[in-house]
Amino acid sequence: MKIAYYPGCTLKTTGTGLEMSAIAAAKALGLELVELERWNCCGTVHSLANDNIINNLAAVRNLIRAKESGYDRFVTLCSICYNTQKSVNNIIRNDEEKKGKINSFMYEEPDYEGDVAVLHLLEAIRDEVGFGNMAEKISKPLSSLKIAPYYGCLLLRPKEIALDSQENPTIMEELLSATGAQVVDDPYKTECCGTYHTVVDVDLVVEHAYRILSSAVKRGADAISTTCPLCHFNLDRRQKEVGKRYGDFKPIPVFYFTQLLCIALGLGEEPCNFELHYVDPRSLLAEKHLL
């Protein structure tokens, strides 16, 4: 089955491990992610100022691109893109006045009515493939791995965009369980990673990352599973700075959930780009006889 796919900028640079592993894993599950022919940056963070209408335009253009290619939905992988595209879609669907302003500002584009749905790949796998069917395709069960799922903020908050329970989401647990992995229950799974502060306030991110990572380590996790290239950067690459500040810190590999899927589906490390990780997960995978 073909499904439209909006990558966003980061998946083409630091997040190639997420993009390539997602495309490969989805294909093995019978979902062909077809990249939109034309797309632009969604603008990253959704503007929270009521009177800032201009920042919505980039995301609306992507939705129009999908519509003119004949799609009624598209899949995202990056949590920020998911959040922004869905938030903007909600504005078009629920705010007549803003919709009117946006459409008349973009007079060169056809009017957009909010009729393209924005999905995250987690939802697409759950609803189009089904975790039960997915489990049948697993050739290398991850049963020796203890994984702590990490959602961060933007798949769950604010309320209007939540793809699962805000306080105790379980969609990633269900997916990981279907790969055979042992899921570690971690209360820090919805805590913020420190996000864009990573550019100008590394110390603040180190504090966030240390709390999240050490909680997973303390609960016996071998690794963490994420969905977002910015969360991944803060939890993986910032372990360098975390290690410098906290002498007792024990590094822990951070996967994209799609990389774990690739391993479990027998696709090997090729689509995973593990060389981009700070804490290389390959030694763990080898130790568990998964590579």
Q: Does 10 bind other proteins (CB under 8 A)?
A: yes
Nearer of residues 87 and 179 to other proteins, judged by Cβ: 87
Q: Cα-flanking dihedrals φ and ψ of residue 290, to 5°?
A: -110, 0
Closest distance to other proteins from the beta carbon of 262 (Å): 21
Pick one of 7, 15, 169, 253: the residue that binds other proteins (CB under 8 A): 15
Distance of CA 106 to the CA centre of its chain: 30
Who contacts 12 (Cβ-Cβ below 8 Å, separation ≥6)? 19
For other proteins, the closer of residues 166 and 177 by Cβ is 166
**Residue 197 binding other proteins, by CB under 8 A:** yes
Looking at 61, 120, 140, 237, which residue binds other proteins (CB under 8 A)? 237
SS3 261: helix
Nearest approach, Cβ of residue 93 and other proteins (Å): 17
Name the CA radius of gyration of the chain, rounded.
19
Using CB under 8 A, which of 166, 177, 182, 214 touches other proteins?
A: 166
Q: Give least dist CB 197 to other proteins, A.
A: 6
> Is 126 a residue that touches other proteins (CB under 8 A)?
no
The label of the residue with tokens 């939802």 reads 123
**Binding residue for other proteins (CB under 8 A) from 17, 149, 169, 194?**
194
List the end-to-end C-alpha distance of the chain, in Å, as a whole number.
29
| The one among 3, 34, 45, 117 contacting other proteins by CB under 8 A | 45
8 A C-beta contact, residue 59 and residue 88:
yes
Q: Which amino acid is at 117?
A: A
Q: Is 197 exposed, middle or buried (0-12, 13-18, 19+ CB in 10 A)?
A: middle
- Least separation in angstroms between CB 204 and other proteins: 6
CA 256 to chain centre: 8
Query: Which residues on neighbouring strands pair with residue 66, listed in sequence order?
Result: none
Q: Strands across the sheet with 32-35, in order?
A: 32-35, 2-6, 73-76, 117-120
Q: Give the whole-angstrom CA distance, residue 55 versus residue 77.
A: 21
If the CB atoms of residues 140 and 208 are measured against other proteins, the closer one turns out to be 208
Give the one residue of 16, 40, 47, 90 binding other proteins; rule: CB under 8 A: 47
Of 190, 180, 151, which Cα lies nearest the Cα of 260? 180
Mask for 202-221, x = binds other proteins (CB under 8 A) = --x--xx--x----------
Alpha helical stretches, state H, 106-179: 121-124, 131-136, 171-178
Q: Is 153 in the site for other proteins (CB under 8 A)?
A: yes
271 is a site residue for other proteins (CB under 8 A) = no
Q: Does 97 bind other proteins (CB under 8 A)?
A: no
**Does residue 158 touch other proteins according to CB under 8 A?**
yes
By CB under 8 A, residue 50 contacts other proteins: yes
Q: Which of 35, 68, 128, 191 binds other proteins (CB under 8 A)?
A: 191
Residue 110 CB partners (closer than 8 Å, separation 6+): 64, 67, 68
Instruction: Give the binding site for other proteins (CB under 8 A).
Output: 8-10, 13-15, 41, 43-45, 47-51, 55, 78, 80-81, 153, 156-159, 166-167, 190-192, 194-200, 204, 207-208, 211, 229-230, 233, 237
